[in-house]
Amino acid sequence: MGKNKKTRTIPSIVGLLILSTFVLGGVYLTQRLKTGQQVSASAQPVSVRTANINAQSATIYWLTEEPTQGSVKVNNQIYLDDRDKKSNQPQNYLTHYVTLDNLKPEKNYQFTIISQGQNHQEDNFQFTTARSLAGPTKEADLAFGLVLDQRGQPLPGALVSLSLTGTTNLASLTDRAGFWSIPLSTAYQKNLTGLIDYDQEKQILEIFVEAEIGMAATVITNTGNDHPVPPITIGQTYDYSQNPPSPKQHPQDFDWSSPEIKEEINNHFPQEEPAKTETTTQKKEELLLDIDNPQEGETVLTTRPNFSGQGPANQKIKITLESEKKFEEEVAVSSFGSWQWTPPENLAPGQHTITVEYYDDNNLLQTISRTFVVQAASASPSPTPITPLPTRLANTPTPTPKPQNTVTPLLSPTKNLTSQPSPATASPTQEAGGPEEIVSGSLTPLLILAILGLGLIFFAINIYQNKWQ
């Protein structure tokens, strides 16, 4: 008489555990992909604009949501942010301002923005340089001013965009003392064929200042009130367009510590005056003698360049310009530690040296020099700083949408995952106590779920590789 077989099923929970591993792996990869996309979005260039276009240079500037390193690549050459060119070490900023030089006249250039190590290229990331001009240059005419934060302190690293009807876009970056300046007399017409003609007293200017995304200030004024523009506080809106022209001043002659300016600032921020004095004193101790413009060996395109730099606050420095004719002049450094100077006459083409010096508190002579070259007028007498910005200024930059990829598995098994075994019935030839027969549960739903889980993993891996590799 045969032995009966005992029937036992393989628990379907084992299959579910395997499937859970697959699903959790897919979810992990998907979440990792989403995290990478969020990091990428925070470094995405926002409100990219072209500025300062002339025959041999241009400026690219933009903002990011988080402080990031930024640079621009043109024809396989990398240009660092203007603030990083001295140290050659990229730093993290919310605002980004990159000057491109050694370009060729009337040539189209495409550029790539490198933000936090990622390349960003769009169809409109291109510009055309201006035509080279010959002939005498115009008398220097600067729009300049000071940008303050909401506590009334000088705001460094702010983007200043200036729009003047009929011109290319103009822009500047505030220095460590919150100071900015933009030359109007060297601005090109929109068609880039020549310099603009404008009314130096009544022409309307629009100025848009950005400290970061969502923090901006707007000023409407005229060319009779742009030297200087009254202090601009971030987050505010000003309209000086109807004001009568004010006496023209040069940056090196203007004293930001004058009682009138102090009173205007204090009226807005009376409670911050002690903090301001402390901060100003601290900056005075920290600032070193420096020449910001021009850089060593730089080629300038105007015969009357605007020189600028840093120095001891509220003290006088001596500027010596070695040229065919030697120029010497004492210039007062502003209360925020910045100075500017323009030579009284045009400079001859060729190499020149500018030297700045002063005696410190220990009666020791501190000095710094820069050698630069003035481009011959026949090649290009246009200015170094020229800026292209949209004539219509948006108060709020358009943020780049953040991509969101979410994978949601929908599993609807048609059968119960745990099969119910039928009672074992001994055949006539089987005997009680015989060998056990192991019968597995139904594998069909388990296989379906396993395939779906693997598909989820492969889908997430494919997206991850396409995005980051």
Using H for helix, E for strand and C for coil, what is the string for 167-236? ECCEEEECCCCCEEEEECCCCEECCCCCECCCCCCCCEEEEEEEEECCEEEEEEEEHHHCCCEEEEECCC
Inside any domain, residue 118: yes
Same domain for 105 and 27 = no
Inside any domain, residue 92: yes
Q: Quote the tokens at residue 125.
A: 């990331």
**Mean pLDDT over residues 163-182, rounded?**
92
Confidence tier at 141 by pLDDT (50, 70, 90) = confident
Q: Judging by beta carbons within 10 Å of its beta carbon (0-12, 13-18, 19+), is residue 7 exposed, middle or buried?
A: middle
Last residue of a domain, one of 332, 355, 374: 374
**Mean pLDDT over residues 199-205, rounded?**
90
Inside any domain, residue 396: no
> By the 8 A CB rule, do 223 and 184 touch?
yes
Inside any domain, residue 397: no
Query: pLDDT tens for residues 251-295?
Result: 665 555 555 554 544 544 443 333 333 343 333 333 468 888 888
Look at residue 407 and tell me whether its pLDDT is greater than 60: no
pLDDT value of residue 463: 62
Inside any domain, residue 392: no
**Mean pLDDT over residues 237-261, rounded?**
72
Domain of 130 in residue numbering reads as 46-374
33-to-25, 408, 459 alpha-carbon distances in Å: 12, 14, 11
Same domain for 145 and 25 = no
Inside any domain, residue 394: no
Same domain for 365 and 427 = no
Confidence tier at 360 by pLDDT (50, 70, 90) = confident
DSSP conformation letters of 67-130: EE-EEEEETTEEEE-GGGTTTT----EEEEEEEE-S--TT-EEE-EEEETTEEE--TT-EEEPP
Number of domains in the chain: 2
Confidence tier at 136 by pLDDT (50, 70, 90) = low
Least confident of 74-88, 225-239, 335-349, 404-418: 404-418
> By the 8 A CB rule, do 381 and 394 touch?
no
Inside any domain, residue 389: no
Can you list the positions of beta strands (E) in 243-326?
290-293, 299-300, 307-310, 316-322
Look at residue 64 and tell me whether its pLDDT is greater than 60: yes
Distance, in Å, from the CA atom of 319 to the CA atom of 424, rounded to the nearest integer, reads: 107
Same domain for 276 and 205 = yes
pLDDT value of residue 319: 94
Closest CA to 434 of 98, 82, 2: 2
Same domain for 215 and 70 = yes
Same domain for 178 and 109 = yes
Q: Quote the tokens at residue 92.
A: 């993290």
CA dihedral (413, 415, 421, 425) in degrees, to 10, reads: -150
Same domain for 261 and 126 = yes
Same domain for 312 and 226 = yes
Same domain for 35 and 50 = no
Same domain for 428 and 319 = no
Q: What are phi and psi of 204, to 5 degrees?
A: -80, 135
Inside any domain, residue 391: no
Last residue of a domain, one of 357, 374, 391: 374
**The residue type at 51:** A
Same domain for 360 and 463 = no
Q: Judging by beta carbons within 10 Å of its beta carbon (0-12, 13-18, 19+), is residue 439 exposed, middle or buried?
A: middle
Same domain for 109 and 210 = yes
pLDDT value of residue 442: 58
Pairing verdict, β 237-239 and 58-68: unpaired
